[in-house]
């Protein structure tokens, strides 16, 4: 059974060209870029090239790129740095729908004397900028608001947010892990101070990330030790992964148009057909501006994990917006923040496409999913009532 | 990805006995849409109203919920109502070759639906683990989010020998939403463990050294550590030299400001249940 991989917001396939680019840096060109000899020096050159490639993708300067071990580290490092830079500012603003990499960190801060404001979203997953305007003050050290949501794909008006933040003199960080490579970004004309990237979301390997820090923005390192990354992130570089990420960023730039045309068209077709074929379904964040590859769709009266298990049996890989583990039998914090009705909050499925997705794969989902939903509903006491009504 | 047994997979891929029974003798419903799982169970009895001849279910829930319902209906067929009532959620899980601990609440739901169906049939009081529905049973609601009473929670704690609040959440969902009742759940655990202790024999008269060591270990295992677990702590027995018992604190107890009180509590327990002359010493181990 060949898998149909529609879970690209969870992680992506490493591009073959990316893999080829990194391959020599394990057994052949394994030198340490900090070494004085030519053998390390040639690796240093490739790391610099990678830094340039990452910078180019987001319209930044190479000195503004710090390599980290993952998106989570970048998020943590950005927020911690801001708090060290402003030791007297004891207020942090974020949103209720952030990835745990930001949210868990902020909630932890509230136990250490910080005031943490979590901004709400409306039923479509959108921010109310007036809420931000009212929350921010001179005591706010950092505002950390994601560029695009990993579950729904909803894109926040980041530049407008940035302008509000700058007026109050706070630092502005955005978790752009899901945005980079899917929509164009340009730091040269941006209000963003710090921005997080994760390699494995754009066809590079897992375990490599970037924190962009704008020139002139003060930064305090999270990881201290050696002088790597200009002492902003100590630890011997993950050279192969850095070089891979550079290549992945170069390719992402080339494929950006495709992402917003061909991939988006497939996503739109999947969305349209599922809504047409399956009654009592709704799109989470359907009225908001969204990433071109993400479809979060909620089905009433059927449970998400069951749908995933039935899809998985056919080789179709997706994810759900709720996890039936006891504690969080609860719908995800994102769907809860959006106030998705309880009749369908447990039945949300996320399909996330990539440039590897084919029309045939989309056809398979369109063919199989209506049957699966019907089957789940036939088993469910509420679903049966729905089916009887029809 | 959950690590499901082949049997669990078989039962959610090919669930047995889905549907309804038009002339069912007993119907039990538990759960609700809002809490993410619900089960409706139909039971048909033989002519003498003794044995279960047919059972059907409808379940809204995850793979384990479907599998547990399917397993339950298979297990109760041919049993008398009293025999069926003896089935524990652990037996439902065992029938399936085991469930991940986080999914044990799914098996509990099957057992609950069965109790409700039989109680309704017999016209007695209906047990309330009726998450989200009206609560018809005596007992005080502990978990407001899922509407679970102290009586129900104590039963599950006792039957499954649970000793942490987290386990209680895995088995019943109690405390899984707002978490407000977790302190109360810890009290219930301590209460149930206390009751179990009362059943056990008191301090023996005279002891050989070996027997004394065994007893000390038993008391620490059965009486002391479960109470520490309830607060996220633990201890390790380092050594026993005559009547001197050396322990080291672990987890939340390690470095806890009140660890010397805890050490006195351990000493008191050992004196009470093993021998008067025991002294407890806290060491770094
Ligand atoms: C929005 C967002 N932020 C952060 C992360 C974490 O990235 P990483 O897995 O590289 O730590 C992810 C992905 O898991 C994500 O989707």
In degrees, rounded to 5, the angle at the alpha carbon of residue B44 between the alpha carbons of residues B42 and B46 is 165
Q: How far is the CA of A374 from the centre of ligand 1 (A)?
A: 33
Is residue A68 lining ligand 1, measured as CB closer than 6 Å? no
- Domain residues for the domain of B165 are 137-200
CB distance from B63 to chain A under 8 Å?
yes
Last residue of a domain, one of A204, A221, A251: A251
In degrees, rounded to 5, the angle at the alpha carbon of residue B67 between the alpha carbons of residues A1 and A325 is 85
In a domain, B84, yes or no: yes
- Closest CB to A346 among B36, B40, B171: B36
In a domain, B235, yes or no: yes
CB distance from B169 to chain A under 8 Å?
yes
Do A191 and A301 share a domain, yes or no?
no
Question: Cα separation of B255 and A81, whole Å?
Answer: 30
Q: What pLDDT is stored for residue A329 in this prediction?
A: 58
Tens-digit pLDDT profile for residues B3-58:
899 999 999 999 999 999 999 999 999 987 777 789 999 999 999 999 999 999 99
- DSSP states of B58-93: EEES-HHHHHHHHHHHHHHTT-BHHHHHT--HHHHH
CATH of the domain at A26: 3.40.640.10
Q: Which residues of A touch B105 (CB under 8 A)?
A: 326, 329
Tens-digit pLDDT profile for residues A109-146:
999 999 999 999 999 999 999 999 999 999 999 999 99
- Closest CB to A330 among B62, B65, B177: B177
Q: What pLDDT is stored for residue B130 in this prediction?
A: 47
Q: What pLDDT is stored for residue B129 in this prediction?
A: 56
CATH of the domain at A296: 3.90.1150.10
CATH of the domain at B249: 3.30.300.130
* Residue contact B58–A379, C-beta within 8 A: yes
Residues in chain A where the model's pLDDT stays below 70: 322-330
Is residue A148 lining ligand 1, measured as CB closer than 6 Å? no
Q: Report which ligand 1 atom has the smallest distance to the Cα of A148.
A: 1
CB distance from B37 to chain A under 8 Å?
yes
In degrees, rounded to 5, the angle at the alpha carbon of residue A174 between the alpha carbons of residues A172 and A180 is 145
Q: What pLDDT is stored for residue B140 in this prediction?
A: 83
Q: What pLDDT is stored for residue A389 in this prediction?
A: 79
In a domain, B130, yes or no: no
Question: Cα separation of A71 and A198, whole Å?
Answer: 4
Q: Is B181 a catalytic residue?
A: no
Residue A293: what are its φ and ψ, rounded to 5°? -105, -5
- Rounded to two decimals, the ipTM of the complex is 0.86
Catalytic residue among A70, A106, A249, A324: A324
Q: Report which ligand 1 atom has the smallest distance to the Cα of A199.
A: 10
Say if residues A322 and A348 touch (Cβ distance below 8 Å). Answer: yes
Question: Cα separation of A191 and B115, whole Å?
Answer: 61
Q: Report which ligand 1 atom has the smallest distance to the Cα of A146.
A: 1
CATH of the domain at B72: 3.90.1010.10
CB distance from B265 to chain A under 8 Å?
no
Residues in chain B where the model's pLDDT stays below 70: 128-138, 197-205, 285
Do A125 and A245 share a domain, yes or no?
yes
* Residue contact B59–A384, C-beta within 8 A: no
Do A326 and A384 share a domain, yes or no?
yes
Q: What pLDDT is stored for residue A281 in this prediction?
A: 96
Do B33 and B62 share a domain, yes or no?
yes
Give the percent of chain A with pLDDT over 90: 90
- Domain residues for the domain of A278 are 4-10+255-389
The pTM is what? 0.80
Q: How many domains does chain B fold into?
A: 3
Q: How far is the CA of B48 from the centre of ligand 1 (A)?
A: 62
Question: Cα separation of B171 and B184, whole Å?
Answer: 16
CB distance from A265 to chain B under 8 Å?
no
Those of residues 322-361 in A touching chain B at CB distance below 8 A are 322, 324-331, 342-343, 346
Q: Supply the angle between the helices B150-160 and B165-172 in degrees, to the nearest 10.
A: 100
Q: What pLDDT is stored for residue B283 in this prediction?
A: 85
Q: Say which DSSP state B42 is in.
A: E
Q: What pLDDT is stored for residue B223 in this prediction?
A: 85
């Amino acid at each position: 059974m060949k898998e149909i991989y529609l879970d690209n917001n969870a992680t992506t396939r490493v591009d073959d060209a990316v893999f080829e680019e990194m391959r020599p840096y394990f057994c052949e060109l394994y030198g340490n870029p900090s070494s004085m000899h030519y053998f390390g020096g040639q690796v240093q050159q490739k790391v610099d090239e990678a830094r340039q490639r990452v910078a180019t993708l987001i319209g930044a300067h190479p000195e503004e790129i710090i390599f980290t071990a993952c998106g989570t580290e970048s998020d943590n490092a950005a927020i911690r740095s801001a708090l060290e830079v402003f030791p007297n500012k004891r207020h942090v603003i974020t949103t209720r729908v952030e990835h745990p990499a930001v949210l868990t960190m902020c909630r932890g801060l509230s136990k250490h004397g910080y005031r943490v404001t979590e901004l709400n979203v409306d039923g479509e997953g959108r921010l109310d900028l007036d809420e931000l305007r009212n929350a921010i003050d001179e005591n706010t050290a950092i505002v950390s608001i994601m560029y695009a949501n990993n579950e729904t794909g909803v894109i926040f008006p980041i530049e407008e947010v940035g302008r509000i933040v700058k007026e109050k003199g706070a630092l502005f960080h955005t978790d752009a892990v899901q945005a980079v490579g899917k929509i164009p970004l340009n730091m040269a004309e941006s209000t963003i101070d710090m921005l997080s990237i994760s390699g494995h979301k754009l066809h590079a390997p897992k375990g490599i990330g970037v924190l962009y820090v704008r020139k002139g923005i003060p930064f305090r390192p999270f990881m201290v030790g050696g002088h790597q990354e200009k002492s902003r992130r100590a630890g011997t570089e993950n050279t192969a992964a850095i070089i891979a990420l550079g290549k992945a960023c170069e390719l992402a730039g080339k494929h950006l148009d495709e992402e917003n045309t061909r991939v988006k068209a497939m996503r739109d077709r999947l969305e349209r057909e599922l809504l047409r074929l399956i009654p009592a379904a709704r799109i989470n964040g359907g009225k908001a501006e969204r990433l071109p590859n993400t479809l979060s769709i909620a089905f009433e009266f059927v449970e998400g994990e069951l749908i995933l298990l039935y899809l998985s049996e056919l080789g179709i890989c997706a994810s759900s917006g709720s996890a039936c583990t006891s504690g969080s039998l609860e719908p995800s914090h994102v769907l809860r923040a959006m106030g998705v009705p309880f009749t369908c909050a447990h039945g949300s499925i996320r399909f996330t496409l990539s440039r590897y997705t084919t029309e045939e794969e989309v056809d398979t989902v369109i063919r199989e999913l209506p049957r699966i939903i019907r089957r789940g509903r036939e088993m469910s006491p509420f679903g049966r009532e729905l089916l009887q009504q029809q | 990805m959950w690590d499901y047994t082949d049997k669990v997979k078989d039962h959610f891929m090919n669930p047995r006995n889905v549907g309804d029974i038009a002339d069912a003798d007993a119907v039990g419903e538990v759960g609700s849409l809002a809490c993410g799982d619900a089960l409706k169970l139909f039971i048909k009895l033989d002519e003498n109203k003794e044995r279960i001849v047919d059972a059907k279910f409808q379940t809204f829930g995850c793979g384990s919920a479907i599998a547990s319902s399917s397993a339950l209906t298979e297990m109760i067929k041919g049993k008398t109502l009293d025999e069926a009532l003896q089935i524990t959620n652990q037996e439902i899980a065992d029938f399936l070759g085991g469930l991940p601990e986080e999914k044990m609440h799914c098996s509990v739901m099957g057992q609950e639906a069965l109790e409700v169906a039989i109680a309704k049939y017999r016209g007695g009081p209906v047990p309330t683990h009726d998450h989200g529905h009206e609560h018809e049973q005596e007992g005080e609601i502990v978990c407001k989010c899922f509407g679970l009473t102290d009586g129900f929670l104590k039963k599950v704690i006792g039957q499954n020998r649970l000793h942490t609040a987290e386990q209680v959440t895995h088995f019943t969902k109690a405390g899984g939403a707002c978490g407000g009742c977790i302190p109360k759940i810890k009290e219930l655990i301590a209460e149930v463990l206390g009751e179990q202790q009362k059943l056990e024999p008191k301090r023996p008269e005279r002891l050989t050294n070996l027997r004394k060591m065994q007893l000390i270990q038993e008391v620490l295992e059965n009486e002391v550590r479960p109470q520490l677990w309830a607060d996220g702590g633990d201890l390790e027995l380092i050594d026993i030299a005559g009547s001197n018992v050396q322990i080291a604190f672990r987890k939340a107890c390690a470095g806890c400001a009140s660890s010397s009180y805890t050490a006195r509590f351990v000493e008191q327990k050992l004196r009470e249940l093993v021998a008067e002359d025991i002294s407890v010493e806290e060491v770094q181990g």
